C-alpha cells in the first residue's frame, strides 16, 4: 500500500536537503556526541531487554511482553532518524530522495503512534494486575496480548497512511530545503505552494485519535488504580502496588513531555520559540524514551534486575572456573 502511494505521479522534487539544526550548524559536531551516545545506549539497552524477555522463562508474562513491544517500537523509532542525523552532523550527507523522505515520515509517525498505544496497553495491564490480581492470567492471555498489540500497530498504520498520501499529492515549489534533521510531516508540507489545510486538519485528527485516546485510557486506568491502592489497609501493600507502576509512569513522562512541547510549538509557538530549540526537542522526543526506558525498567523492575545479576554472575563464575 505504501508503494502504491509512492508510485503516484505528481509535481514533486527528486530529493530534499535536510539542513540539520538551523542556526547551530557550527555546533553540529558537538551536538552529534550526545545524540550518538544516547543512540548506542538505546540500541544496547533495548536489544538487551528483548534478549532477556525472549530467553528468560521468568519473564514470560504479559507485563514483559508489552515491554518487549515497547522495546521493538523504540528501536525502530530512533533508528528511523538518528543514523541520518549523524550522517548530516558528521559527513554533511544532507540529501534524501523524495520517496525515502516519505518512507522515513511513515516510520516516524507510525511508531510514535505505536509507542503511545503500547504505553496505553501497559497502563491497562497495570490496572488489571492491581484491581483484578486473581484474574490477571485469565484476562491477559497470550492470544489477547497478540491481538491488542496487532490492533495497536494497525491503528497507527491506517491512520498515518492517509497523511503520507496527503503529503505526496502536494505540489512543491518553495525549494527543497527542510530545516530539520528528519522528514517531519509539517516541515515537508510547508515547502508546498499548494493548500496544506487538509494536512494540518488530518494531522490534528490523527494526533487526537491516537494520543488523545491513549492519554484518556491511561488517565482512567491510573484513576482506578489509585482508588484501588488507597483502599488497601496495609501500608506495605500500598507501597508494593505503587512500586509496580513507577517504571511505567517514568516511561509516560519521558514519552509525552517532549511530545506535548512539539505539538504545541507546531501549532502555537512557531513565532516565539527558536526553530533550533524545537528541532532539538523533536529529536529528544524520538531518542529520550528509547534511551531511558531500558534503564528505568532495569533499575525499577526486580525480576529484570535479578535476571541481569544472574547472567553476569554466571559469566563471572565461568570465567573464574576457566582460569
Check residue 182 and give its pLDDT: 96
Whose grid coordinates read 512500586?
Answer: 243
Q: Is 185 exposed, middle or buried (0-12, 13-18, 19+ CB in 10 A)?
A: buried
pLDDT at 103 over 50: yes
Give the sign of the dihedral formed by CA 80, CA 85, CA 86, CA 91: positive
Check residue 317 and give its pLDDT: 58
Check residue 269 and give its pLDDT: 59
pLDDT band at 174 (very low <50, low <70, confident <90, very high): confident
Beta bridge partners of 111: none
Check residue 50 and give its pLDDT: 96
Check residue 239 and give its pLDDT: 84
78-91 pLDDT tens trace: 999 999 999 999 99
pLDDT at 308 over 90: no
Residue of higher predicted confidence among 216 and 306: 216
pTM: 0.92
Please answer whether residues 151 and 214 qualify as being in contact, where contact means their C-beta atoms are separated by less than 8 angstroms.
no
Residue range 17-301, CATH number: 1.20.1070.10
pLDDT band at 6 (very low <50, low <70, confident <90, very high): very low
DSSP 121-143: HHHHHHHHHHHSGGGHHHHS-HH
Dihedral-angle region of residue 172 (phi above 0 means left; psi in -120 to 50 means alpha; beta otherwise)? beta
The domains of the chain are located at: 17-301
Amino acid at each position: 500500500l505504501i508503494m502504491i502511494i509512492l508510485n503516484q505521479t505528481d509535481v514533486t522534487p527528486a530529493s530534499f536537503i535536510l539542513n540539520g539544526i538551523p542556526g547551530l550548524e557550527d555546533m553540529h559536531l558537538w551536538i552529534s556526541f550526545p545524540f550518538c551516545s544516547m543512540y548506542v545506549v538505546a540500541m544496547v539497552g533495548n536489544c538487551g531487554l528483548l534478549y532477556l524477555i525472549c530467553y528468560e522463562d521468568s519473564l514470560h508474562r504479559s507485563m514483559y511482553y508489552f515491554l518487549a513491544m515497547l522495546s521493538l517500537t523504540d528501536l525502530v523509532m530512533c533508528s528511523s532518524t538518528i543514523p541520518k542525523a549523524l550522517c548530516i552532523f558528521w559527513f554533511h550527507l544532507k540529501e534524501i530522495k523524495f520517496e525515502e523522505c516519505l518512507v522515513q515520515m511513515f516510520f516516524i509517525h507510525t511508531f510514535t503512534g505505536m509507542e503511545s498505544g503500547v504505553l496505553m496497553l501497559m497502563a491497562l495491564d497495570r490496572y488489571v494486575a492491581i484491581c483484578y490480581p486473581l484474574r490477571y492470567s485469565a484476562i491477559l492471555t497470550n492470544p489477547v496480548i497478540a491481538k491488542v498489540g496487532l490492533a495497536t500497530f494497525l491503528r497507527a498504520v491506517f491512520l498515518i497512511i492517509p497523511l503520507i498520501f496527503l503529503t505526496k499529492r502536494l505540489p512543491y515549489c518553495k525549494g527543497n530545503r527542510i530545516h530539520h534533521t528528519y522528514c517531519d510531516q509539517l516541515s515537508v508540507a510547508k515547502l508546498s505552494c499548494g493548500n496544506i489545510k487538509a494536512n494540518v486538519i488530518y494531522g490534528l485528527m490523527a494526533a487526537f485519535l491516537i494520543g488523545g485516546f491513549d492519554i484518556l485510557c491511561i488517565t482512567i486506568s491510573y484513576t482506578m488504580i489509585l482508588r484501588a491502592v488507597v483502599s488497601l489497609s496495609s501500608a506495605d501493600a500500598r507501597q508494593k502496588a505503587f512500586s509496580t507502576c513507577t517504571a511505567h509512569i517514568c516511561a509516560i513522562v519521558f514519552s509525552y513531555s517532549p511530545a506535548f512541547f512539539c505539538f504545541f510549538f507546531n501549532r502555537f509557538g512557531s513565532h516565539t520559540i527558536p526553530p533550533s530549540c524545537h528541532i532539538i526537542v523533536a529529536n529528544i522526543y524520538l531518542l529520550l524514551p528509547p534511551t531511558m526506558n531500558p534503564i528505568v525498567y532495569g533499575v525499577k523492575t526486580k525480576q529484570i534486575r535479578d535476571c541481569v545479576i544472574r547472567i553476569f554472575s554466571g559469566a563471572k563464575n565461568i570465567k573464574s572456573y576457566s582460569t
